Amino acid sequence: MPLSIRTAAFLTQSVCLDDTTVKFEIWDTAGQERYHSLAPMYYRGAQAAIVVYDITNQETFARAKTWVKELQRQASPSIVIALAGNKADLASKRMVEYEEAQAYADDNSLLFMETSAKTAMNVNDLFLAIGEWGGSREDVELLG
């Protein structure tokens, strides 16, 4: 049986803010438990993090809160943390109310947006908002 080594996906995304291009370097751990012990390696030095939950699954929102607490405790004090409620295209199956997530984000000084990876709704807007919150840095390392 071949040895399976699981790693987080690495992606880049560039967005233009005024006359500056911000390059995001993204480590996508997909929130999988197997990455939990490795998480500090990914968020150490990160200037931003996107914590994603599924709006159709309350348990993922609870796990997202755990990740937010860990980032607030362990990551750089200046890290920008965004909370993204994914699967906004499935609003009819919603289990996490928008207002509940927005209130949590407000209480914890998080950027908040609902997104859809399937339709790309608000995905670029989320990166733009992070870039604006993150100031004028040209490169942003991002954990998502």
Does 8 score more than 80 pLDDT? no
Q: Is the C-alpha dihedral spanning 11, 57, 109, 40 positive or negative?
A: negative
Average pLDDT, the chain: 83
Question: Highest mean pLDDT: which of 78-82, 111-115, 125-129?
Answer: 111-115
Task: Identify the pLDDT of residue 10.
Answer: 75
Determine the 3-state secondary structure of 75 from DSSP.
coil
Q: What value does the mean pLDDT take over residues 84-89? A: 98
Domain covering 22-143, topology: Rossmann fold (3.40.50)
The alpha carbon of residue 106 and the mean position of all alpha carbons in its chain are separated, in whole angstroms, by 16
Q: Residue 32 — very low, low, confident or very high, per pLDDT cuts 50/70/90?
A: low
> For the chain, what are the domain ranges?
22-143
Q: How confident is the model at residue 13 (pLDDT cuts 50, 70, 90)?
A: confident
Which pLDDT belongs to residue 21? 81
- pLDDT at site 139: 45
pTM: 0.81
